[in-house]
Amino acid sequence: MAVTPLRREDAPLPGSGLAARLAIRADEHRGPTAGLAPGFVQGNLAILPQRLAADFLRFCQLNPKSCPLIGMSAPGDPRVPALAEDLDIRTDLPRYRVWRAGELIAEPQDVRDVWRDDLVSFVIGCSFSFEEALTSDGIELRHIIQRCNVPMYRTSIATAEAGPFHGPMVVSMRPMTPANAIRAVQITTRFPAVHGAPVHIGKPELIGIADLDKPDYGDAVEVRANELPVFWACGVTPQSVIATVKPEFCITHYPGSMLVTDRKNTEFAIM
């Protein structure tokens, strides 16, 4: 199914989600999307054959904290109108990962040549949105200061299974003073569509994390004596769960290369 680009009289607003997508689509932006189009929602991507889509949708519905679904396509349709009018899921991310039977086979910059009429796209909220709300409130995020990836851990918290999809919740960790941890609960509670409130505070061993210095994904960050580790359900959970299913075909975003949408982060605040 082809997408007819919109005829535009005007150039897109600089710094907008649309401007970011057009730059990516035109191959003018290739790197990570962090910091691109501030204020606009970015999303994790999972593209699955229609045969698995109903179970995966049910998995998201059962696990809203780790898999907050913010957009979904019709089978074979590369558009996701709920997130942006002019959006082609095949070209609008800087980089993708293509998987066959659980094996990573390519990391291309667009996926038009492997597109199929039975593919269903799932866009899942990401922590960039709530991190923007935290930093706007003056809460410093260690991984941003250290210019590294947020540390992520597989936990002993099981997701609710749906069809073949099951596995542990993956969490991200941000160290905070107790006062900031309390404020962070209040702020992120307002954003249920982008992981919402933390799932755990303070005692990593209780959720199966043996060593904070050894994250399963991302980079370790310092947790100071006056801080608590604060844990949020992470959008890597669905990727990790899909990996165990080893679908015959699947496309995900390349880590850090997210889908930039036209929705504003503030739209996702429930109050």
Nearer to a second copy, 26 or 271 (CB): 271
> Which region among 12-20, 94-102, 132-140, 197-205 touches a second copy (by CB under 8 A)?
197-205
Q: What is the 3-state secondary structure (H, E, C) of 172-240?
A: EEEEECHHHHHHHHHHHHCCHHHCCCCCEECCHHHHCCCCCCCCCECCCCCCCCCCEEEEEECCHHHHH
Site residue total, a second copy (CB under 8 A): 18
By C-beta, is 54 or 206 nearer to a second copy?
206
Q: By CB under 8 A, tell whether 212 contacts a second copy.
A: no
With CB under 8 A as the contact rule, the residue among 23, 83, 169, 197 that binds a second copy is 197
Residue placing its CB nearer to a second copy in the complex, 11 or 271: 271
Span of 27-35, 94-102, 143-151, 174-182 interacting with a second copy by CB under 8 A: 174-182
Q: How far is the CB of 180 from a second copy (least distance, A)?
A: 10
Main-chain phi, psi angles of 255, to 5 degrees: -50, 130
Closest distance to a second copy from the beta carbon of 59 (Å): 21
Q: Is residue 201 a contact point for a second copy (CB under 8 A)?
A: yes
- 156 counts as binding a second copy under rule CB under 8 A: no
Query: Residue 9: which region, alpha, beta or left (left: phi > 0; alpha: psi -120 to 50)?
Result: alpha
For residue 135, the minimal CB distance to a second copy (Å) is 20
- From 79, 90, 200, 253, residue interacting with a second copy (rule: CB under 8 A): 200
Nearer to a second copy, 116 or 203 (CB): 203
203 binds a second copy (CB under 8 A): yes
- Report in angstroms how near the CB of residue 234 gets to a second copy at its nearest: 16
Site for a second copy in 58-87 (CB under 8 A): none
Residues 227-266 within binding reach of a second copy (CB under 8 A): 228
Question: How far apart are the C-alpha atoms of 198 and 128, rounded to whole Å?
Answer: 14
Structure token pair of residue 45: 């991507």
| By CB under 8 A, residue 198 contacts a second copy | yes
Compare residues 218 and 229 and give the one whose CB is closer to a second copy. 229
Q: Does 178 bind a second copy (CB under 8 A)?
A: yes
Residues within the interface to a second copy (CB under 8 A): 178-179, 181-182, 185-186, 189, 197-203, 206, 226, 228, 271
